[in-house]
Structure 1
Amino acid sequence: MLPRPLLLCLQGLLLGRFTQACPPPCQCYDGTKVFCSGEEIWDIPEGLPGNATQLFFVETSLTTIGSGPFSNHSSLARLVFLNNPSLSLEAGAFGEWPRLTELEVSGSNLSALSGEAFGSLLELRKLSLTFSALRALEPGLFNRMPGLEALHLQGNQIEALPPKIFSPLRELRVLDLSHNPMAQVPDRLFDPLARLQVLKLSNISLARLPLGTFRLLRRLQELSLDRNALADLPPGAFSGLTHLRRLQLQHNALTSLRPYIFSCLPSLDFLNLEGNRLSALPAGLLRGTPKLSQLFAASNRLETIPEGIFSNLFQLQTIVLSHNRLTHLPAGAFRDLSSLTTLQLDHNNLTALAGDTFHNLTSLEVLDLTGNRLQTLPEGIFDFNDYLFGVAMKDNPWVCDCRLASLASWIRNWSAPLNSQTFCASPDHLKGWALPALPQEQLVCLAAPGQADSSLSPGEAETGRSPCTYSDPEGTVQLTCDAAACHRLTVHLPPQRALTGQGPAYDSDWVLNSSCGRVKVSVAIRAEPGVTAREEEALSHNRRSEP
């Protein structure tokens, strides 16, 4: 059934202003377009304009179309029945109309068609018998439609097709058999359709492809095999399809692919492998598809991708590898992809990325790393991606220390809104901090006892002072010193009690350790006479940042 808003929109487009009286409850526009709708319509109304070129019957109570109601409409070019659930067609219902080019019957309970239902429609170009209850098609049903170019049969209950049902349709360009419980197609069913450009076999419960099913479809440009039960593609399944541009194989049961299954598709632009059971992709899988621009392989079981699988795909713009099991990417995984704008690696098991992983992607605009196991990223990993404006990184266990300083700065400058929900997982005192809001001075590295101490930040490392960072076991107090002096003290205090003006508001001692030795730090915060609580808070903040 078509949605009610769509029907109202269609009615509005057809009607505009009324220029001629029509038999109620129909409405006419310019005397050539007629729109009839309403449950009170049980038969074709009398008095319809004889020069009408388009007739629409929408959501009526029409039951039977016999052989006579349109005998006086020799100018009719388009006849449409939408959502008329009780409709049935008698033999010769549509007679011999010299000008009829489009006929549609959709959304009815029509379960069978007489072989004579369509008479002789020599000029018919488009026939739609969709979303009804058709269970079978009689042999010879299309014998008197030699000029048919588009045949839509999707959304019925067709379980089998006569082997030569399409033999008369030598001019057919579009064939849609989707959403029928066919399970199989007869051998050589499509052989007569040498001019076919679009073939849709989505969701027909197809479990296997007979060898050579498409071998004579030399002009085919789009093939949809998605949402079936295909577990294997036979050798040469797509041989000869040199003009094929779109291939849809998503949501099947494929566990593997033959190395050169797509090698005969030099015009392929769009390939969808989503929702299968692929654990690996052969290294040479895409070598015969130089024009590929969009590749979708999400929701499989891939643990890695072969090195060089994308080599020489200079027109590739989109790669989607989301919801797999990727643990690592080989060196140079994305080399030669100078046109790539979108790369989705989200919801995998990636734990680390090489610093040059994205350096060749000079056109990259969108990168999704959400839902992996990344703790940090190498400094400068995005230095060669001048057009990169969106990097999604939430749901990773980010370790917010000095190694993340460069990335945090990049996020604040270029991708903060997209990462407002990107949080630190450690250390404990920063857990839950949103990365874009994290102050740069918080990103420090603490030295473990007995190890050489790391610098407080990349900036201090460049000064050559080789500072030591002293810390308590909880990481709540950090003191950074070099050979000449101590330069920074950071203290994370618990919630402060109300200030009374008498006695210390906070007073505590710590023993801090580092590889350089041990130091004792005492901090006391007192309310000064005449200082308000707000001013004392400001003073307390200053004391936390001064040695």
Structure 2
Amino acid sequence: MLLLVLLYLVQSGVVEVLPCPASCVCTNGSTGAADLRMVQCGDPGMSAIPVNVPANTFKLCLEKTRISRVPRAAFFNLSELRFLWLTYNSITSVHTSSFVNLKALRELRLDGNLLTSFPWEGLRDMPRLQTLVLHNNRLSNLPPQAALFLLNITYLDLSSNRLTILPAELLDLWFPLPGLQEGPVQRKILSKVECDLRHTCDKNFILFNCFGCVGLHDNPWLCDCEISLLVSLSMSLGSSVVLMDPLLMCSRSVGQSGTLLTQAELSRCMRPSVQPAATRVTSSVGSNVLLRCDASGYPTPTLTWIKTSAYTGEQHGLHLSEEVRESPRVGVRWSIISLNGLSYSDAGEYRCQARNMAGLSEAPIKLKVMGATRLLRLPRKNSKPTFSRSLQRSRKPSKTPAAAANESRISTGLQTQLEGS
């Protein structure tokens, strides 16, 4: 009787039965929403992501298959998906747009694959993502721009890869400079033991005490100043990060292979110091000016210029094409800006900023642009002489008294001679 009722409901459209992909198992969800499904696919012969996964799937697990790539918009119709596990397959590439429309996704796992790179910018398509697991891959490089897309990640597992260094941008994310910390300080734990996620798809997983965990163990870290900063910051009083992993080791440093990170003799980072060639420069309109600053620190700092207009107060960074940069030796760098044909708009404050993993320093240079020097103006020549000038030219020059007397005597003498004759 019950079977006949179910058959009637299906035929009448009251209950919609969605198909399950071949070689997969579909079960009803246990999240409080009976209409959501969990789909598990573990066929060793499967070589592509199935395209007919039910749209009401909240958890999709593809594990131990022959899948080698994740194409563009592979899960576009799964807008309800919250957990995506692509674990222990043969995945070598993930398209930047693979995760389009996964607005509800909370957890993405790609551990146990063959990834040499990861499309970090693709995290923008998953605004609610909190857990990202890349354990046991072949990642050898962590690009600086990755930090831009990890702001909402509370668990990041990078363990068992081929990473050697951490970019400064990630340390800025975990250890913001004083004054740049927004909101209350959140303690992060860089560890392995409490946050190990190795389990199979058929088990639900809940993170306990792992808010802000970052797994870094089992990587060939280059133990130098940069990694020493991570250790010193994590051990400082009031730090937002606690380093708890005892297995974090130096594996590629000369003479330090197999040394525990906390026991390695590491060089210390040195905050940059900046020295401008001059703090005030005054020049005239149309002239050429060179602005130079020198910086030292360890690691070798990077230099950037920021200009504040003297008239509008606006700030903007100068393009690299406007700079000449040289690195004569490790730890020292200098930069020159060449300003040709000065105009009044070039006036203002130029700040030379030096930055490395240990901090940020800057020095200002004020440029004043003066008006051009004015030359004495000569009287303009007229082609037609004026009446007064013509009159002056027609007059004979006046005679001196001596010349007039001499001329009178000569005239009198001539007249006497004429009368005597």
Q: Per chain length, whose mean CA-contact separation is higher, i.e. which structure has more relative contact order (CA < 8 Å, sep 6+)? A: 2
> Which bracket does the TM-score occupy, shorter chain normalised?
0.3 to 0.5
Max radius of gyration: which structure?
2
Larger fraction in helix: 2
Using structure 2 for the length normalisation, give the TM-score: 0.46
Larger fraction in strand: 2
